[in-house]
Chain A
Amino acid sequence: MERVPVLKIGDILLVSIQIDMEDQVALQLQEDLADRIVATGCHGVVIDISALDIVDSFVGRTLATIAAISKVLDADTVVVGMRPAVAITLVELGLSLPGIRTALNVELGMELLARERADYDDEEEDADGEDGAETPAVFTS
């Protein structure tokens, strides 16, 4: 059985699907990605589907499941490079991929993840700061 390679680039795992996957290959990718997220501690996953000339409901569901699993493992997923004809067909099929972030290409997908991570880190710092300021106020009142 063929396997889709998962590449680590900094804090991001990059997957570029270059083959017409049988269902088992898609399921294997789901497992491989979960393992690699945990092993590397990466916070982002970019899945490039620009080489896919169709996305059917099985692959669509697999992408949604990967996004959900990644989220639970503290990583965000962006699906990039969908062809226009694939987008038209997916929507007509009834699959609008709710819960999946998309970007037009790998570069924009990586920018999106970097931006979101930066916002997230800022919020964490702000939250810490507020806690620090409020705690004494609660005790003195």
Chain B
Amino acid sequence: MSEQGQRIEVVTDQDVVRVRQLVRTLAVAVKLSLVDQTKIVTAASELARNTLVYGGGGWVEATSVDNGRRKGIRIVFADQGPGIADLDLAFTDGYTTGGGLGLGLSGARRLVDEFDIVTAVGEGTTITVTKWCR
């Protein structure tokens, strides 16, 4: 069961800040612990920046979810950019094509409970992450 999500178009640096603020608000609302709030907001910041920098922009949608036992927050990051040709390489710590530290994708995956990625070269990338309350 999930509620209506809130969507933010990601086109500029400022939109990445708005994504952080939206995720923070939702994380507080579903009562994630302080450390888990920090982790999900950090992961959202990394992935939203990827959407902007590597995907050429896109959108982010955040929703509070409830599986009957636990509450949580689910966030989708979608772009119609170049896609990722080699996922194993993209998830390697330190690998980057954009001059960053190469920690965004691999680091974000470590900070969430569920991580799903769908990507196709030339079509874009969609990443869905979920963080559950303990």
Contact = CB atoms under 8 A, between A and B. Distances in A.
Interface of A: 20-24, 53-58, 60-61, 83-86, 88-89, 92-95
B110 to A, nearest CB: 5
Interface residues of B, number: 27
B111 A92 contact: yes
B38 A53 contact: yes
A89 B111 contact: yes
Interface of B is mostly: helix
A85 B41 CA distance: 12
Contacts of B45: 54, 56, 58
Given A22-B14, A94-B93, A54 B42 contact: yes
B1 interface: no
B2 interface: no
13 contacts: A21-B17, A54-B42, A60-B101, A84-B35, A85-B38, A88-B35, A89-B111, A92-B39, A92-B107, A93-B46, A94-B93, A94-B106, A95-B107
A21 B16 CA distance: 10
B24 A89 contact: no
B68 interface: no
Contacts of B100: 57-58, 61
Contacts of A83: 38
A60 B104 CA distance: 12
A76 B46 CA distance: 28
Contact of B103 (A20, A23, A55, A95): A95
- Which of B20, B49, B100, B101 has the most chain A CB within a 10 Å cutoff? B101
